[in-house]
Amino acid sequence: MDLQKLLNEMTVDEKLAQMTQLVPQIITDKGEGAVTGPMRNFGITRKVTSKIGTLLGGTGAEQLKFLQDFHMDEDPHKIPLLFMADIIHGYRTLYPVPLGLGASFDTELAEQCCAMAAKEAVAGGLHVTFAPMVDLVRDARWGRCMETTGEDPYLNSKMSAAMVRGFQGENLEKDKIAACVKHFAAYGACDGGRDYDAVELGDRTLREFYMPAYKVAVDEGVELVMTSFNTLNGVPSSANKYLVDDILRKEWGFDGIVISDFNAFYEMISHGIAANEKECAKKALDATSDIEMMSTCYVKFGKQLLEEGEITEKQLDDAVMRILKLKEKLGLFDDPYRGASVEEEKRLHLCKEHRDLARVAAEKSAVLLKNDGVLPLDENVKKIAVIGPAADHGMIGGWFCCGTVAEAVSALDGIKNVAKNADVKLAFGSTFDPNEKPEAVADRIAEAKKLAAECDAVVLCIGEEMDMSGESHTRARISISDAQAELVKEVCSVNKNTVTVIYCGRPLALEKINDISPATVIFWHPGTEGGNALANLLFGRVNFQGKLPMTFPYEGQSPYFYNHLPTGRPNGNGGYCLRYLDTPYEPVYPFGYGMSYTTFEISSPTLSSNEMTEDGEITVFVNVKNTGNVHGIETVQLYINDVTASVSRPVKEMKGYQKVALAPGEEKTVAFKITLDALKFHTFSGEYKAEKGKFKVFVSNRSDVKEFVEFKLV
């Protein structure tokens, strides 16, 4: 297709419509799409919608083929629609929410999961996913922790690259979809963890913590970038020239599509930086925003702005060309349906291979926090109780796209599948309501307690309902509810053989139950195969290997993150130092923490040299030994601290990790290379470089390690 010729033939109205994205129901009353924001009467006519460039939220081969036909009949230049949707943790077969995937520390797994989602989505007629979401998050109150891989820039970057590769493949092959990294930038740093609230960040923090995972996606060839709702230092991202034009386009060389978030152009008015939709359109185009999602400033005012000389046709052409190029790359001009196929949907969706991968992903994501000898449970147990609001519930997670709870395996079903000869009993105990008081469910708790007393083992399934995390689902208090805590207390008082399984989309404050529960597992929102994965883990058919990708704080500590700066008055020196009066200073569980059915011994680190030159490298060695009785996988983590620099540096920063598989008694040497890149930062004078001096090196299986060795950069 000669795209330049096509562009030359297009009218200004056609160009502006290409730059607009709406939901299918605005185009035809036969269309449906996921709506995740305000819907207004946009006051636009069929003349506009018939030329529209992209739709969001529609799914399924049948619907999307219908919409493509409907559109192609009307579009003056027969430019196919681009269909986009949120495929965040699977299309129909769902894997754990991204925070769970982060806990696996397994980038190959993340890539495979995204590749599976892409395949299913292609069959369902989609072309673009609004993923990966790689916003770094430090505040557990933010609902969208669920969609990120956590608080560490190194882990987030590894996951970001893997996810882009999984969705897009090498070059958008036929079973791949285009990825859209989001939300650019620093959306996760909202004040108070309140979704949509303002973000104020210094340039150093922005660049060192928040930017790397987006940058890596760009380097990996991501096709789209979504700008975030929030203001960053006073400017909403869709209008933020510094962010989009200077950094993303010019500094990083991104030449793909920049799309706004839902209604974000229009929201410039509420942000107080535009008086009307015309000003929104001008500011967005000046910031090189190509597609306006779910508002209509471009189509309504673009032409007028052009006639008044406020914008140029070149600006429009650049944007439209980027959109046409993606359509061409996806092959839509040759085949507007692309892979949409009802037969392929039937063949692929929820097929055994996909369910198996979803199960493995849930197994690898689970984090064992505590085990006072309860686990693994005996498969030959006679009578087992599965108790709690998540016990008989397919906890697929909040961005379920085309997946359904009915197609998912609950904990109850999973346990029945494995403990085939056991008498498996169910009790609800409490609801998910975070404000529920024990008195309100006293009868249910009593019933659960009675059942627990009669059973040989109990699996208590509590935590957050799927819709208690995610967009706009901020929580001020992240504790286990009083009713759930009472349930744990009562059940554990009569049955010591109890494991508490916590379903959540964010870190929860566990102090109410941590000492009471003899065994505790973080299971996130695990997806379609959750129940089977859980049973495999609890009965010891597979081992735990997940590590926390975010700190699990006490209530009131958030934001709390391991890679913070030191202070002049570190904790541990009595009063007038870093501390809380009413909770311990340390979190309940640190970043990087997670147990296994075996134990590992990690030796003190040794260095290949105590000095490193700028063009040299140092190798850090540790021996890792499986000192238990079963095979296990340990995630060995490398942290560095720059002791003295021109600006204060984080107390620890993860600079590498390796997953090591060991048979009982087996021992391996793990080596990490440290090069200059790992030591670079934005110095006081604004350069990105390493400064000479002392560095501490820590190697462990958790971030709160104290022991270190030192070297000097000379």
Positive or negative, the CA dihedral 316, 321, 322, 326 is: positive
Q: How many of the chain's residues bind ligand NOJ (CB under 6 A)?
A: 9
Q: Which of 95, 209, 214, 262: binder of ligand NOJ (CB under 6 A)?
A: 262
CA distance 505 to 96: 10
User: Is residue 261 a contact point for ligand NOJ (CB under 6 A)?
Assistant: yes
**Nearest distance, CB of residue 139 and ligand NOJ, angstroms:** 17
546: nearest Cα among 103, 155, 159: 103
Residue 251, classified by CB atoms within 10 Å of its CB into exposed (0-12), middle (13-18) or buried (19+), is exposed
For ligand NOJ, the closer CB: 35 or 72: 35
Q: Is 130 in the site for ligand NOJ (CB under 6 A)?
A: yes
The answer to whether 236 touches 271, Cβ cutoff 8 Å, is: yes
Nearer to ligand NOJ, 36 or 63 (CB): 36
Q: How far is the CB of 87 from ligand NOJ (least distance, A)?
A: 10
CB nearer ligand NOJ, residue 116 or residue 179: 179
Residue 56 or 280 having the CB closest to ligand NOJ: 56
Place of tokens 């064992």: 368
Please, what is the minimum distance in Å from the beta carbon of residue 336 to ligand NOJ?
22
Q: What is the DSSP letter of 458?
A: E
User: Of 144 and 702, which has the nearer Cβ to ligand NOJ?
Assistant: 144
Rounded least distance, CB 261 to ligand NOJ, Å:
5
- Residue number closest to ligand NOJ, CB atom: 130
Nearer residue to ligand NOJ within complex by CB, 228 or 545? 228
Q: Which is nearer to ligand NOJ, 3 or 34 (CB)?
A: 34
Q: Where are the beta strands (DSSP E) in 568-666?
A: 600-602, 606-607, 611-612, 617-626, 632-642, 653-662
Cα(143)–Cα(97) distance, rounded to whole angstroms? 12
**Which helix (H) or strand (E) is 324 found in, with range?**
helix 313-329
Q: Where are the beta strands (DSSP E) in 33-108?
A: 54-56, 82-85
Cβ of residue 86: shortest distance to ligand NOJ, in angstroms? 5
Least distance CB 182 / ligand NOJ (angstroms):
6
User: Is 292 a residue that touches ligand NOJ (CB under 6 A)?
Assistant: no
Of residues 139, 261, 290, 642, which has the active-site annotation? 261
- Residue ranges in 330-460 assigned as alpha helix (H): 342-348, 352-365, 411-418, 442-454
Q: Smallest Cα–Cα separation from 407: which of 28, 94, 19?
A: 94
Restricted to residues 70-89, the positions that interact with ligand NOJ (CB under 6 A) are 86
Please give the residues from 515 up to 544 whose contact with ligand NOJ meets the rule CB under 6 A. none
Q: How many CB atoms lie within 10 A of CB 631?
A: 16
Task: Name beta bridge partners: 700.
Answer: 637
- Concatenated DSSP letters of 519-543: EEEE--S--TTHHHHHHHHHTTSS-
- Within residues 49-68, the interface with ligand NOJ by CB under 6 A covers 56
Least CB distance to ligand NOJ at residue 136 (A): 15
Candidates 36, 430, 500, 558; binder of ligand NOJ (CB under 6 A) is 36
Least distance to ligand NOJ, CB of residue 709, Å: 43
> Which positions from 172 through 201 interact with ligand NOJ, judged by CB under 6 A?
182
In this structure, are residues 164 and 181 in contact, taking their beta carbons and an 8 Å threshold? yes
Does residue 261 have an active-site annotation? yes
- Under a CB-based contact definition with an 8 Å cutoff, are residues 222 and 171 in contact? no
With binding defined as CB under 6 A, does residue 471 bind ligand NOJ?
Answer: yes
In the complex, the smallest distance separating the C-beta of residue 98 from ligand NOJ, rounded to whole angstroms, is: 12
CB atoms within 10 A of CB 685: 8
CA 402 – CA 641 distance, rounded (Å): 45
Q: Edge-to-edge strand order for the sheet containing 709-713? A: 611-612, 709-713, 693-700, 632-642, 653-662
Q: Is 135 in the site for ligand NOJ (CB under 6 A)?
A: no
CA distance linking residue 665 with residue 111, whole number of Å = 31
The residue (of 22 and 510) whose beta carbon lies closer to ligand NOJ is 22
Distance between CA atoms of residues 278 and 264, nearest Å: 14
Give yes or no for residue 267 binding ligand NOJ (CB under 6 A): no
Buried/exposed code over 556-580 (b: 16+ C-beta within 10 A; e: otherwise): ebbbbbbbeeeeeeeeeeeeeeeee
Judge contact between 372 and 518, C-beta under 8 A. yes
Which of 19, 381 has the CB closer to ligand NOJ?
19
Cβ closer to ligand NOJ: 413 or 471? 471
Q: Report which residue type is found at 461.
A: C
Does residue number 260 form part of the binding site for ligand NOJ (CB under 6 A)?
A: no
Q: How far is the CB of 623 from ligand NOJ (least distance, A)?
A: 44
CA 203 to chain CA centroid, Å, is 23
Q: Which residues are catalytic?
A: 261
Interface residues toward ligand NOJ, by CB under 6 A = 36-37, 56, 86, 130, 182, 261-262, 471
